[in-house]
Amino acid sequence: MRGLLISFVLCLTLNVTGQSRYRIMMWNVENFFDCKDDTLKQDEEFLPESERQWTWGRYWRKVEDVGRVIMGVGGDMPPALIGLAEVENDSVMISLTKMGSLRAMGYDYVMTDSPDQRGVDVALMYLPQMFRLVGCESIKIPSLDYGLRPTRDLLHVWGGVMNGETLHVVVCHLPSRAGDSRENSKNRKLAIGTLVSLIDSLQLNIPQCRLLVMGDFNASLRDKSLKPLRNIMTIKALTPDGRRPTRGTYRYKGNWGWIDHIFVSESLYTGTGCNAQLYVQPWMKRMMNDDTWYPRRTYLGTHYAGGVSDHLPIFSDFYW
C-alpha cells in the first residue's frame, strides 16, 4: 500500500518536460528531545520529572505537529529533502519517520552525533524514491583544539536524483550569538570557516558540483559574521522573490529575523524563479494583544506553550 501511495504522489510531481519537482525544506524544530535521560548529555530539562515536565504525551503531540507541518509544506506531495535542526537523536527521528503521521510516506534519514553538550544535532530526511543515498559524513568543528566548548557538526550528504545527477547537501546549525560572548563569537568563526572550506573543497574537486547548503545560521544574510559565505561567488542565497524579506523565520523581542537560509550553487540557481518561501498556518501562530504574532513555540521559558517551534520553516522548489 505504501509503495502505491509513493508511486501516486511521485506521478503528481512530473511536469511537461518529464522532470520531477524536488521541494527542499529547512526547519529548526526547537529542542526536539525524547523523554529519556542521556547521561552523556545535558538533557535533564527535557524529562518528565523536570521543571518543564516534558512528558511522553507532549512528545508525541510534537511528533504529530512536526509531521503536520511537513505535509503542509509539501502540498500535493511531501518534500523530497528536509533539513532539521535541534533534533536530539535517532530515537526522535525514528518516531518522526517510522511511527508518526509520516510513516506511510517512506522517509529515511541520516543525522549527526555531535559533541554538543546539550545533545542537539542536525538531520536530513529524504524520500528514497527521489534521492538515492550514496554517502554521508559529519564534519566536526575544531572547537576543542582552541579550548572552546564543543558545538554541532556539519552534515554533508550526497546522492543521486531522478535524472541521474549527483546532488550534495550540507545541513548546519551554526553556534548561537546568545550573550554575544567571546567564546560564542570564536565558535561561530570556526564553524563558518569550516563550512566555507567544505564548500570550496566540493566545488574545487567536483566540476559543476550541484550543491545545497541549508540550516539555521543564527544570523541574517547581512550580518558581518556571514561575510565569508557571501564572498563565495559560486553560491547564491535564496530569498523571497529576490527581495529583502518583510518578515522572517524567527522573532526575538518583537523583531523578525530571517536567520534560516538555503544557499545553492550556480549550477542549481535559475534566477528570479528560484527563491525561498515561508510556511505558516494560523495554528502555528501565537497572537499578541496588538494583533502581531510570534511563531507558537513549544516552551516559553519553562512554561509549556503547546506550539510546534519558535522558528518558521522555509522551502524552495527545483526540477530534475
Q: Which residues are CB-neighbours of 35 under 8 A, at least 6 positions away?
A: 46, 47, 48, 54, 55, 56, 59
Percent of the chain exceeding pLDDT 70 equals 91
Q: Is residue 193 in a domain? A: yes
Q: Is residue 10 in a domain? A: no
**pLDDT tens by residue, 136-159:** 999 999 999 999 999 999 999 999
**pLDDT tens by residue, 83-117:** 999 999 999 999 999 999 999 999 999 999 999 98
Cα(258)–Cα(246) distance, integer angstroms: 9
What is the per-residue pLDDT for 19? Answer: 77
What is the per-residue pLDDT for 1? Answer: 46
Phi, psi of 225 (to 5 degrees): -65, -25
With cut-offs at 50, 70 and 90, classify the pLDDT of residue 180.
Answer: low
> Is the model's pLDDT at 240 over the cut of 90?
no
CATH of the domain at 240: 3.60.10.10
What is the per-residue pLDDT for 4? Answer: 44
Q: Is residue 16 in a domain? A: no
Cα(97)–Cα(74) distance, integer angstroms: 15
Q: What is the mean pLDDT of residues 237-263?
A: 85
Q: Which residues are CB-neighbours of 301 under 8 A, at least 6 positions away?
A: none
> Is the model's pLDDT at 3 over the cut of 90?
no
Q: Encode 281-305 in three state secondary structure.
A: CHHHEEECCCCCEEECCCEECCEEC
With cut-offs at 50, 70 and 90, classify the pLDDT of residue 244.
Answer: low
Amino acid symbol at 135: G
Q: Is residue 318 in a domain? A: no
Q: Is residue 13 in a domain? A: no
Helices (DSSP H) in the chain: which residue ranges? 2-13, 56-74, 90-94, 182-205, 227-230
Q: Is residue 293 in a domain? A: yes
Name residue, grid cell 518543564.
52
How close are the terminal C-alpha atoms of the chain, in Å?
26
Amino acid symbol at 285: K
Q: Is residue 161 in a domain? A: yes
The domain tally of the chain equals 1
Q: Is residue 315 in a domain? A: no
> Is the model's pLDDT at 188 over the cut of 80?
yes
Annotate 183-233 with DSSP letters as a single string.
HHHHHHHHHHHHHHHHHHHHHHHSTT-EEEEEEE-SS-TTSGGGHHHHT-T
Predicted structure pTM score: 0.92
What is the per-residue pLDDT for 247? Answer: 83
The residue segments making up the domain with residue 87 are: 21-310
**pLDDT tens by residue, 26-85:** 999 999 999 999 988 889 999 999 999 999 999 999 999 999 999 999 988 899 999 999
Cα(196)–Cα(235) distance, integer angstroms: 11
What is the per-residue pLDDT for 12? Answer: 44
* Count of beta carbons in the 10 Å neighbourhood of residue 291: 6
Q: Are strands 210-216 and 166-173 parallel, antiparallel or unpaired?
A: parallel
